[in-house]
Amino acid sequence: MKKRTLILAGFIILKFLIQYLVISPAYDLQRDEYLHLDQAHHPAWGYLSVPPVTSWISYIILLMGNSVFWIKFFPALFGAITIWIIWKAIETLGGDLFALVTGATCITFSVLLGLNTLYQPNSLDVLCWAAFYYCVIKYIKTEQPRWLYFGAVVFAAGFLNKYNMVFLLLGIAPAMLISPQRKIFTQKHFYVALALGLILISPNLLWQYQNSFPVVHHMKELAERQLVHVDRVGFLKSQVLYFIGSSVAILAGLFALLFYKPFRPYRLFFGSFFFTIFIFLYFRAKDYYAIGLYPIYISFGAVYLSHILATGWQRYLRPVLIIIPLLFFIPMYQVAFPNNSPEYIMQHQERYQRLGRLRWEDGRDHDIPQDYADMLGWKELAHKVDSIYTGVAASGKTLVLCDNYGQAGAINYYTKQGIKAVSFNADYVNWFDLSVPYTNLIRVKDYQEQYEELQESAPFFQTGVAADSITNRFAREHGATIFVFTGAKVDIRERLRSEIEEEKNYE
């Protein structure tokens, strides 16, 4: 086995080991993960929250037993493949072993370690960005049409995973138009590849059309509730922090795209970088949407740095460039990953606050990072609902109705009673079983809305009581209350149908 292959294998093994070590057992899964896992039970060409690829992966996880090991395996796998893609890009650009090790180190010890801890579309999104850019590099270098087709397939896979791929096209298209590479638009194979990409994503586009384009409604809702809190200066600060240990390589890559003669054919990547950042800023995108942009620039930088540090005293700086990402990783290890308990975070809040880790989507600082708060209280909720369900299910069919997708998904994942909880939130609005005449209702309400529930729902049942609540003070769901209503006086399905129709009316 070649030395290069052994080193690459070492990086990939290290990647998997670290990913499993940076997650503390003090945390449950994150709320989005439960929704994605539930999609395995409801195959479709689209969902209100995401395109279909995540559901396909969830189905594979389901076949493998639905354990936490496999849930965490796939984002780690996508991160490992990203390292391999950057390795291949560096080889294509003519990089030596030092360039390969530098690039792999920069990718391994970066924000991707945090991103790859969560089973969300983001890990595959970053991989698809890197793979698409790699296809562009290969096409420019070889002018072989097959790389256009590979690029079309990669784009389609990325699009069917997360619509964030559209930003990639919006950034690279104008850069290509103003570069000598615009000759690609005169190639027949380009348009055949374009048609291939459209064919591959067409089932999802058809699903969007048939369902009144819920993605438009989702984006409007996102803009009103979350993106309005996005600070553009904060966005730029986050970009620096995400790859701070790799900043020398990224800046060197941008410089080389302008001034390093062997990179002249790839100069469109310089314009693409700034076009893409501008578009993200214009739309007030969340900071992590741009993570997929950077890995390919590390490959350019690694090759260029290898060239300028090849001889003389400069060659002694080579080890320094490899050590820099590690030096930044060591302090970040304490604040960037869910490897410390909530109690530890409370005792060291200053270091988290200084890096903006305590700022949530509502624009305010909280006790612990939002992602971590979203990983607490779920087992507690599911176990309590299971216990309550056991007590009332014998008296008739019981519906478990939650306020949000996290609650419903967590109950469905942890339940030992076969509960299929639903919600009017996210994709669960499409998963109600209205063929069952329900006698009882277990209602999980957010803390802010719990006081009105008894008054609103009790008249439709013989009994109603607040049975329990989430008591974990660090959980984002802290205070969420479990109500139990038994002996329905009316057919509650009519009211459910009415609320479902209202929720699905996007006008």
Per-residue pLDDT reduced to its tens digit, 368-425 = 999 899 999 999 999 999 999 998 887 789 999 999 999 999 999 999 999 999 999 9
Task: Please write the tens of the pLDDT for every residue from 135-185.
Answer: 999 999 999 999 999 999 999 999 999 999 999 999 999 999 999 999 999
Q: What are 317's two structure tokens?
A: 């700086």
For the chain, what percent of residues have pLDDT higher than 70? 97
Calpha distance 389→107 (Å, rounded): 47
| Helix (H) or strand (E) segment spanning residue 444 | strand 440-445
Give the CB-side neighbour count of residue 65, counting CA atoms within 13 A. Answer: 6
Residue 223 scores a pLDDT above 80: no
Alpha-carbon gap, residue 320 to 325, rounded angstroms: 9
| Phi, psi (rounded to 5 degrees) for 66 | 60, 25
Mean pLDDT over the full length of the chain: 92
Burial label for 183, CB within 10 Å (0-12, 13-18, 19+), is exposed
pLDDT score of 497: 93
> What pLDDT does 226 receive?
57
**What does residue 500 show for φ and ψ, rounded to 5 degrees?**
-65, -45
Confidence of residue 457 (pLDDT cuts 50, 70, 90): confident
Per-residue pLDDT averaged across 39-51, rounded?
Answer: 94
Helix (H) or strand (E) holding 423: strand 422-423
DSSP state of 433: -
Residue length, the chain? 507
Q: What is the 3-state secondary structure (H, E, C) of 69-109?
A: HHHHHHHHHHHHHHHHHHHHHHHHCCCCHHHHHHHHHHHHC
Using the predicted structure, report yes or no on whether residue 507 has a pLDDT greater than 60: no
Question: What is the tens place of the pLDDT at every residue in 260-274?
Answer: 999 999 999 999 999
Give 303-323 pLDDT, tens digit per residue.
Answer: 999 999 988 888 888 999 999
Buried b (16+ CB within 10 A) or exposed e, 341-353: bbeebeeeeeebe
Nearest alpha carbon to residue 120 among 50, 47, 21: 50
Domain ranges of the chain: 3-31+68-332, 342-373, 378-503
| Long-range contact set of residues 365-374: C-beta below 8 Å, sequence gap at least 24 | 367/342, 367/474, 368/342, 368/474, 369/345, 370/476, 371/30, 371/118, 371/338, 372/27, 372/338, 372/342, 372/345, 372/474, 373/474, 373/475, 373/476, 374/30, 374/31, 374/32, 374/406, 374/476
Residue 228 has a pLDDT of 55
Task: Look at residue 436 and tell me whether its pLDDT is greater than 70.
Answer: yes
What local confidence, expressed as pLDDT, does residue 263 receive? 97
Distance between CA atoms of 374 and 368, rounded to whole angstroms?
Answer: 10
Q: What percent of the chain has pLDDT over 90?
A: 76
Instruction: Give per-residue pLDDT as tens, 470-481.
Output: 999 999 999 999
Higher pLDDT, 426 or 504: 426
Return the pLDDT at 224: 59
Residue 227: pLDDT over 60: no
Beta strands in 176-319 (DSSP E): none
* pLDDT at residue 382 in the model: 97
Position 34 scores a pLDDT of 97
In this prediction, residue 486 has a pLDDT band, given cuts at 50, 70 and 90, of: very high
**Burial group, residue 448, by CB count within 10 angstroms (0-12, 13-18, 19+):** exposed
pLDDT of residue 275: 97
Q: How confident is the model at residue 214 (pLDDT cuts 50, 70, 90)?
A: confident
Which tops the pLDDT comparison, 187 or 351? 187
pLDDT top residue among 447 and 252: 252
Average pLDDT over residues 21-39: 95
Q: Are 116 and 76 in contact (CB under 8 A)?
A: yes
pTM for the predicted model, two decimal places: 0.93
pLDDT at 229 over 60: no
Question: What integer pLDDT is reported at residue 225 of this predicted model?
Answer: 60
Cβ atoms of 417 and 390 within 8 Å: the answer is yes
Per the DSSP assignment, residues forming a β-bridge with 365 are 359
- 332 close to 111: Cβ distance less than 8 angstroms: no
pLDDT at position 237 is 85
Whether 241 has a pLDDT exceeding 90, the answer reads no
Least confident of 101-110, 255-264, 314-323, 331-340: 331-340
Give the pLDDT band (50/70/90) at residue 49: confident
Sign of CA dihedral 325, 85, 306, 273: negative
pLDDT at 352: 87
Q: Are 381 and 66 in contact (CB under 8 A)?
A: no
pLDDT at position 119: 97
The torsion angles phi and psi of 205, rounded to 5 degrees, stand at: -65, -40
Q: Give pLDDT, residue 266.
A: 97
Task: Give the whole-angstrom CA distance, residue 127 versus residue 32.
Answer: 19
